Amino acid sequence: MKVAGFFTKRGMASLAVIFTVAGVSLPSVASASIITFDFTGRLTVVDPNGNLFNNAYNGGWQTPIAASLTYDTNIGVTSSTLNVTIGNWFGVPAYVHDITPSSMTGNIINAQYLGDWNGNNNMPALLQWDATGLINAIGYGLQVGDKLSGNSLYRDYNHDHVYDPSELLTANLGSATPYSDTLISGLGIPLQGYAPLAATSATQGFTAGPFTGVVAYFDIGSGNSMYVTSVSSVPVPAGVWLFGSGLLGLIGFARRKAS
């Protein structure tokens, strides 16, 4: 894992997940959508005993993150991965790379990644996201300008980038509360609240190497937002869309930016 200026302009990354959705009615159309989001979120890191790392280089107990993700709601499997750079983790750059989904049960995504820090490279780690809020938002048929804010979904009808109560589509996406809120409770830090992609308590962190047990919680859209920046249609083979059950494929590309 590499860690400070979380994403740089030159950095590129990608994430791919295949979602299996049971009991959900999918749109009865012969096309799927590729949806691109700009998002903000937070990173929280703890030691094997559950104590938070206070990294002054990144502003304290939590590190703000920002990037772009592109989702393909067509069926598909890809080997694309998500890479992130945090420029300064206790004085040394840290890199989290090759974040790759390994399985999904219901709305829970299990993923694995490798971390590099201070000469220790390719340390394996495991994380888990609750993607309920994101999946439910996609079910609304997202449009450019839509905003996922924690548990709410807004539609920017007049394209002024001001989201008032009249533009609220729903205040109950079913987004989960990140486990990180439990960790920072009582520290005087504003809680994140709901997140469309919320790291859960089952996130295991590094499973081998000198930092075994250190856990990095990545919360996307937590206490912040995901903005839809583009939507495009792609053809889907006949018979793909089914009512009652289906597959929802997610492909993400994250562009590292300066935090």
1 within some domain: no
89 in any annotated domain: yes
Residue 159 lies in a domain: yes
* pLDDT at res. 251: 31
Residue 258 forms part of a structural domain: no
Residue 113 lies in a domain: yes
Residue 259 lies in a domain: no
Q: How far apart are CA 130 and CA 197, in angstroms?
A: 6
Residue that the structure tokens 């450019």 belong to: 144
Per-residue pLDDT of the chain (259 residues; tens, 9 = 90+): 433 322 222 222 333 332 322 233 333 333 567 788 888 888 899 999 888 988 777 667 887 777 777 776 653 223 345 566 676 778 888 887 777 777 878 888 888 888 899 999 999 999 899 989 988 998 898 999 999 999 999 999 988 888 999 999 999 999 999 999 999 998 888 888 999 989 999 999 999 999 999 999 988 887 678 999 998 876 544 443 332 223 233 333 333 443 4
Residue 235: predicted pLDDT: 56
Counting the structural domains of the chain, the total is 1
Residue bearing tokens 């950095």: 11
Q: What is the pLDDT of residue 243?
A: 28
**pLDDT of res. 178:** 95
Domain hosting 134: range is: 15-252
Is residue 57 in a domain? Answer: yes
**Domain-embedded: residue 225:** yes
Query: What local confidence, expressed as pLDDT, does residue 29 receive?
Result: 37
